[in-house]
Amino acid sequence: MSHEFHSFYYDQMGDEPVTDDFVVPVGTELTEKLLQELIDEHKDKHLPRLQYLAAAYKTHYEIFGRDKKPDYKPDNRLAADMAYDITETFEGYFIGIPVDIKIDGESGDAQKAEYLKTYYRRNHQEDTDAELSKMASKFGYSYEMFYQDDEGKPRSVAVSPLTSFMVYDDSVLKRPLFFVRYSYDEEGRIVGSYSDSQYVIKFDDKSGAMEFVDIDEHYFHAVPAVCFMQNIEKRGLYEGVLNLIEAYNRVLSEKANDVEYFSDAYMVIEGMELPDDFKKDLKEYKLINLYNNNGEVPTKAYFMPKPDADGEQENLINRLEMLIFKMAMVPDITDESFSTASGTALKMRLMPMSNLARNKERKFVYGIQERLKLLANYPDKPFTGDDWERVEIVMHRNMPEDLASEADVASRLSGIVSEETQLSVLSCVDDAKSEIERKNAEKEARVQVVTDGLPTNRTEKKREPTMYEITSILSQRKRGQLTRNNAIEMMKRIGVDEDDAIRYLNDKDEGE
């Protein structure tokens, strides 16, 4: 005897969705017949789940599709925007601060860094990353598709899994073989394209059967798409609490019905029979008439009391709300206790969401590395070959910082740890090494002012001014601590020619 276990989706849709990846044997050729089979499988087995998740994000819940109640009964349909709130809270924490990328160390890296900076700016990559992350939170995964723009430059766009899917080989590496995108035209016919490692092939079924209609070469030398995953299971952020959200909506709606029902109490007329022209529909006027022919019951009128389940309903609503946020591992940051929590207490309360973010970060960084690999494949200089391996990817958490507490901890570490470790405690310091260098440069500049440019060590050899000394003087000038003439004199004292000093100051003023 076997037992079949059904999920929440089966209860809602009458079928169990498929979440497995599309896998075909190594070396498989994508024919029109196989493409049609893959699209049909995506529509029938994958799309219902994705559409349900998309609907939840838009606050389209089961409560709005319930059968209408009779006209004489209250029929409120209320839905809390839980899925949206959970997603936006997590996304603000996870990627509210854009991702940093940088290349360090070797000659020529300045040009490569500038290339990546230009690409990110041209492609509006901060916005694309935010969309990729949000779609991954909603559906469990998302796609970034690459293409060549009109100027021959590489570009990318976030693509929803509602209209696309990746096909992998059946090796242990699960290498991408094809990326398929499809949609429907005004007549309901399929149109789309798929990409392999060399070509982009367009297709449609306008002739009544799937047919390849056009082919173009791309230059990424790999499937020009990257999958960004929420987690290894490709499970959406609020997917595990959908049943609780649906229950919350039902209880909330019935609570509103009860409030409306209780506010419209029934009147009882007891002891006399009302005339027929007065006795209207009981359901319409909420009237009950009790009488007997012997006149033994005195005449009286009163409102009938109704049962009150307010306490039980409130307990259930509160319990469901608590479970939704707890099981989703995303706290309700609008709670009053968050505004009064100390730095340590706040971090403890955010730890479940921090763990979620750490798991997602590993997948997201992997996706960015695959993006950089495709950019290195593209015949566009100077970012080529294995340059993608030397790119440092840094993600930040967007959360309130208790700088007073951090400063206290940093000061207590003085004399115990290195200055670099001491400064790394402060969230306002991005790079402790650079901060130390800037601090020393400012200290040297102040010493130069006090000693009037004379060396404190008479045997000190003349040296070239450092960029940190120059930027320190420019910073003081920018803050209004120095006049222009004083700034020029200070630069001359550290060894800068007057013409160069004037040029530095002019560059700063033009930059402002």
List pLDDT tens digits, range 369-387. 999 999 999 998 889 989 9
pLDDT range class, residue 235, cuts 50, 70, 90: very high
Indicate the burial class of 105 (C-beta count within 10 angstroms; 0-12, 13-18, 19 or more): exposed
- 8 A C-beta contact, residue 445 and residue 494: yes
pLDDT value of position 4: 52
pLDDT value of position 270: 63
153, 472, 488, 489 from 446: Cα distances, Å = 48, 10, 15, 13
Rounded to 5°, the CA angle 9-14-17 comes to 45
- Is pLDDT of 361 > 70? yes
Q: Is the peptide bond before 298 cis (omega within 30 degrees of 0)?
A: no
Q: In this predicted structure, which of 129-138, 266-275, 278-287, 370-379 has the lowest mean pLDDT?
A: 278-287
The total of other beta-carbon atoms located within 10 Å of residue 266's CB is 14
Question: What's the 3-state SS for 221-270?
Answer: CCCCEEEEECCCCCCCCCHHHHHHHHHHHHHHHHHHHHHHHHCCCCEEEE
pLDDT range class, residue 272, cuts 50, 70, 90: low
- 8 A C-beta contact, residue 324 and residue 245: yes
- Pick 447 or 229 by higher pLDDT: 229
- Is pLDDT of 105 > 50? yes
User: Per-residue pLDDT averaged across 305-310, rounded?
Assistant: 61
pLDDT value of position 378: 94
pLDDT value of position 8: 75
Indicate the burial class of 129 (C-beta count within 10 angstroms; 0-12, 13-18, 19 or more): buried
pLDDT range class, residue 9, cuts 50, 70, 90: confident
Rounded to 5°, the CA angle 291-295-296 comes to 95
pLDDT value of position 452: 55
Structure tokens at 356: 């979620």
Three-state SS for 31? coil
pLDDT value of position 364: 97
The β-bridge relationship of strands 176-184 and 391-394 is: unpaired
Q: What is the mean pLDDT of the chain?
A: 83
- Pick 28 or 72 by higher pLDDT: 28
In the chain, the amino acid numbered 448 is Q
What is the C-alpha separation between 105 and 390, in angstroms, rounded?
9
What is the C-alpha separation between 326 and 332, in angstroms, rounded?
9
- 8 A C-beta contact, residue 476 and residue 487: yes
User: Per-residue pLDDT averaged across 147-164, rounded?
Assistant: 94
User: Per-residue pLDDT averaged across 408-427, rounded?
Assistant: 77
pLDDT range class, residue 154, cuts 50, 70, 90: very high
- Is pLDDT of 367 > 60? yes
Three-state SS for 362? helix
What is the C-alpha separation between 243 and 239, in angstroms, rounded?
9
pLDDT range class, residue 437, cuts 50, 70, 90: confident
- Is pLDDT of 282 > 90? no
* Identity of the highest mean pLDDT range in 237-251, 388-402, 473-487: 237-251
User: Per-residue pLDDT averaged across 1-20, rounded?
Assistant: 68
Share of the chain above pLDDT 70, in %: 80
pLDDT value of position 419: 79
pLDDT value of position 266: 62
102, 291, 361, 390, 470 from 99: Cα distances, Å = 10, 78, 11, 16, 30
Q: In this predicted structure, which of 156-165, 264-273, 391-400 has the lowest mean pLDDT?
A: 264-273
pLDDT value of position 1: 39
pLDDT range class, residue 442, cuts 50, 70, 90: confident
pLDDT value of position 356: 94
- Is pLDDT of 267 > 50? yes
Sheet holding 287-290, edge to edge: 287-290, 267-270, 300-303
According to DSSP H, which parts of 378-483 are helical?
403-412, 419-424, 432-450, 467-478
The helix (run of H) or strand (run of E) holding residue 154 is: strand 154-159
pLDDT range class, residue 268, cuts 50, 70, 90: low
- Is pLDDT of 451 > 60? no
Structure tokens at 371: 């993006």
